Every structure is written in C-alpha cells, then in structure tokens.
C-alpha cells in the first residue's frame, strides 16, 4: 500500500499541474484555471478509488485536496508572473507531489468533526 500511495502522490502532482496549464493555454481565467487543476487531480483520485472499489482518500480526511489546490494555484501564479507554462508545469508538479509525499511520511491528515458535549 505504501508504494501505491507514493506513486499516487506523484500522479496527483502531474494532474494538478496539467489541468491549469491546459486551461491557461485555452484562455481561461486564473481562478478558473486553478479550480480546473484541483478538479482534475481530486476527481482523478476519486475515480481511481471508485474503480477499485475503495472508499476515496478524499473522504477519509486524507491530506489530498490541499496539495492539489495549492499546487494548482502555484502553477497559475508562476505562469502569470511571466515564467511561462513549461516552468509552471514543473514547479507545480514538484510542489504538489512533494507536499503530498511529506504528508504521507509525517502522517498528516485533516481534522475531523469536534464532539460537543
């Protein structure tokens, strides 16, 4: 399972960056491009889990969507600063994948609901 999650983290980084780059190349706004990047990464992960009949990582309070959305925002920011989409693609992929892999290594998760008594 550990090797699978490492490869999943790398794939999530690639999908995180490809979505906004394609959207920007087709004239989408920066906000729309950022949301498209997050949607491609998160949606791809959910689809993968559903196809193998597992509960999606997103529903298990896993640290999955945050790296995807931050990486997507970084791709848009780097591209808008004039570095071009090639540099943005590499920067976003490395950042999102690294954040996801660090989260796996450190066992980071999102907080659950608080119990009010």
Distances (CA, A) of 12 to 16, 30, 102, 115: 6, 20, 14, 32
3-state secondary structure of 61: coil
Over the stretch 20-53, which tens digit does the pLDDT of each residue have?
Answer: 999 999 999 999 999 999 999 999 989 988 999 9
Kindly state the tokens that stand for 57: 């990582």
Give the list of residues 6+ apart from residue 16 with CB closer than 8 angstroms, or none: 37, 38, 40, 41, 67, 68, 71, 72, 75, 92, 93, 96
pLDDT digits (tens, 9 = 90+) for 56-82: 888 888 888 999 999 999 999 999 998
Q: Are 13 and 96 in contact (CB under 8 A)?
A: yes
- Reported as half-sphere exposure (CB side, CA atoms, 13 A), residue 71 has a value of 35
In this prediction the pTM is 0.88
């Amino acid at each position: 399972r550990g090797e699978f999650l490492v490869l999943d983290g790398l794939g999530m980084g690639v999908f995180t960056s490809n979505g906004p780059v394609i959207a920007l190349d087709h004239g989408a706004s920066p906000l729309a491009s950022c949301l498209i990047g997050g949607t491609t990464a998160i949606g791809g992960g959910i689809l993968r889990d559903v196809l193998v009949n597992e509960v999606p990582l997103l529903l298990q309070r896993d640290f999955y969507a945050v790296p995807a959305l931050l990486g997507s925002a970084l791709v848009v920011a780097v591209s808008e600063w004039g570095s071009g989409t090639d540099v943005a693609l590499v920067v976003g992929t490395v950042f999102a994948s690294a954040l996801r892999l660090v989260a796996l290594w450190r066992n980071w998760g999102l907080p659950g609901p608080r119990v009010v008594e």
